[in-house]
Structure 1
């Protein structure tokens, strides 16, 4: 007999239930079921802070897959039973743990966890899952090819074609099986575009122009976990003869990312320093001291003479530096300067005070005297034109919109679209 709550019409069919994500950007939570194997793909919290929860019977699932390290895909991971296997990238896990520590939360305890590897198929009960590396603003992001009952499902996660890992998009187009039975496809940008900065290279050019035109300090407002953007900032600073200065948290995040590539900037590089002597650094240092075993010798590296920087150095020679620091602390530093530039490199929606995602500290930087506020950003999500290219090359039989506020737009782009609502079950026949 079918699993309770499953379809009795096709008891042998593989089934998809999007618990959340059909009407919003984020909060992804998708169930794939066949026979008595149940997989949860992502366990995201809502971007607007509205209450979200895992399925009531989460303890009866076989495993959880986490596509990447953004909270709208993993935010409920703390509520997953400790004995339920989780599949997640090592860097995504470390980013998640680090964010908890630096925001004053305890790291999650050790649990049953398996590292995701691109191209390495995982067998979970009667379901096979193959992760595909994708280009996104979070490193080590995956899409999942899921095979069950002779049918194929592809879960796109968050992806794009215009970042520093754009070759992974081309690989995806050419290596995914053609004619996938059901493709769960993200639509964050289905009504938006990257009009001014089409790709990460354009962002780099924009940053170079902004830095060249600023005789004093340049500050960067972005997520440290957007490794593509941190690489871009380093390259732009270097082209302008400046040093990239990081707060302690950002320096640690880049150290974790070294697991993926030694070409990612690190505090040991000559063009990178750490602001390890100011009030922000003191607070972050105290959090690290509470988890000494997690950070090992990194704490000592922060205060090596070749790595450390004092706040007075920024005031004495502001034209030497590009500073990546939390927005609140940036304001503290630049309010005493006659001139400065803030490069805002995130979604501009965070500057809208009429939304629940409003970032008051970033918005306040625009109002400071002498500040040139430059929005220089490209999205971490795929554009509608690249969505069309992706679908044209992979030829899925059905497309199910997810991670979008405009799922009805998919009908205009793709005639094979099947629109679902949250908690609606769909049989793959």
Structure 2
């Protein structure tokens, strides 16, 4: 019984860019909501910028009435009547070596709620500002990805970049890098092959397929496996959703359109689970999606009762193939990621050889070819095998 997991990373491009910025330019001081304590006060009177000829230091206006050192109870009462932000710190009362916190840091906001959440520094625009990634096609700029802040402001992928700038004045626009995204997915697939499942493959530009057939019991079941994968991605700063089904197409559709973080579909329930999903869940071409909208076909369940002939004429044979693959009626092989491909060289001869001299010369030529391949890839060799085919 086949079981396939589809891992979906909806914010892959934005979160990868944020990780790259964080590793490339770390801040001088780790950002934290805790108050930063001022430096300790120097006990040397000569280091004070205020002369000691009888004048008061700044902030000690409460003692200018001449009552300092005469009536301690009156002083305490006078200090108690002052607002919290005007009361003198302990170092003004004689304990000058004690570090005091700033009086305004712990005060509530003007609205009466909790203290305002600190704003991230301006050098981290991906943390606080709406960010969108664009791709240039000729003279046209199209939004390919948007952060959650931008999505909340009605910026969606596929929108023109000029429209997005008009909607959000402080929009931070970056260049999309599809090659870097695919390279990161490739590294994640290699990690999956080494630690999760023996077969993994990229599914589009925003996720992976993981073949879990016969391996889920090694992690305590499918539910625990999904939680483990999500925890790993959360630790490295990526948002993900995952779905497990009997076919790659069903798992792909549920991971992106079910609305759940983890979806576990029992075997044989693909028809019931996919019927309520939009037609776009079948990974159809743009022409097929436009034709489905023109004929009023909005859900996958609308395609199931239709005869194959009229459906193929309206949406094309590709739509029929995708529907059969999602429902398990047609096979959809997963092209696995190979962790390492051993270098190999070969020679094709016009005529067979049989003399020891000719065989030795052929082996020497193959060794020279193999050395060139190893030099290009930066590899070495401990043992090499040669095969002669008649």
Same fold (TM over 0.5): no
Relative to the length of structure 2, the TM-score reads 0.22
Relative to the length of structure 1, the TM-score reads 0.20
More strand per residue: 1 or 2?
A: 1
More helix per residue: 1 or 2?
A: 2
Q: Which has the larger radius of gyration?
A: 2
